[in-house]
Amino acid sequence: MLSEVEVERLYIAKLYADEEDRKNEIHVTDLTAPCSRQVFYEKKSPTPEPIENMLRMTEGKLLHKLFLLGQSEVEIKWSGVKGRIDEYENGIIIEKKFVDFVPNNILEVQKYYTHYIEQVAFYAVMLVNQGYEFKQAFLLFVKRGEQNERGRKPLKAFDITPLIDLNKAEVEFLNRKGMLEAVLANDEPPEIPPNFSPFDYPCSYCKYSVRCYSGV
């Protein structure tokens, strides 16, 4: 017989067992991370995600199981960097994002979700350099929980193709890869950016902020 707590523990253990080990790899999401210290800690001495975060992530994982195009969760690698594209078919990329705030227009996408635009642009660069087509790219935002703000949709897609310059994106991709490799070659993390605060993004969302500001 199992107890109620044992059933809960089984579920939690499964969540962590399914997590990928990315310590010895560079991924596109590492290149678009808002802080190189965060990536340093993730690769050198990672801390497990809090249980509540893991539970929230299961919602996003379920979203990614809703396949929209001919190829889903497409694994790609170029110049030593790995990526996984949510949806791809005939030159079209769809990247799905499960978020608390769904933007109303492309200006809000550019203001709040620049890192997602960069992520898709880097995927496009990788595809083209691997001999695949790139014609169009979409960000599909899905609201987490109920949509309580009047006039804001719980589901919204944006064609971000006009925002992607493949030449500029490739230069930026290679620059960030080089900078990140230099950071990871050191035994100590880089300095905290002078404009960062423990009470503001990205530090307020980062599980490593205690290490940064406590000196631990």
Closest CA to 183 of 15, 19, 40: 40
Angle at CA of residue 135, ends 77 and 168, nearest 5°: 65
Q: What is the predicted pLDDT for the residue at 22?
A: 74
Is this structure's pTM higher than 0.75? yes
pLDDT confidence of 216, banded at 50, 70, 90? Answer: low
> Tens digit of pLDDT for each residue in 165-182?
999 999 999 999 999 999
Mean pLDDT value across the chain = 90
Q: What is the predicted pLDDT for the residue at 150?
A: 76
What is each CA distance from 14 to 8, 53, 121, 208, in whole angstroms? Answer: 10, 14, 33, 24
Burial string for 85-97 (b: 16+ CB within 10 Å, else e) reads: bbbbeeebbbbbb
In the DSSP assignment, the letter for residue 112 is H
Contact 85, 73 (CB under 8 A): yes
13-214 has which CATH code?
3.90.320
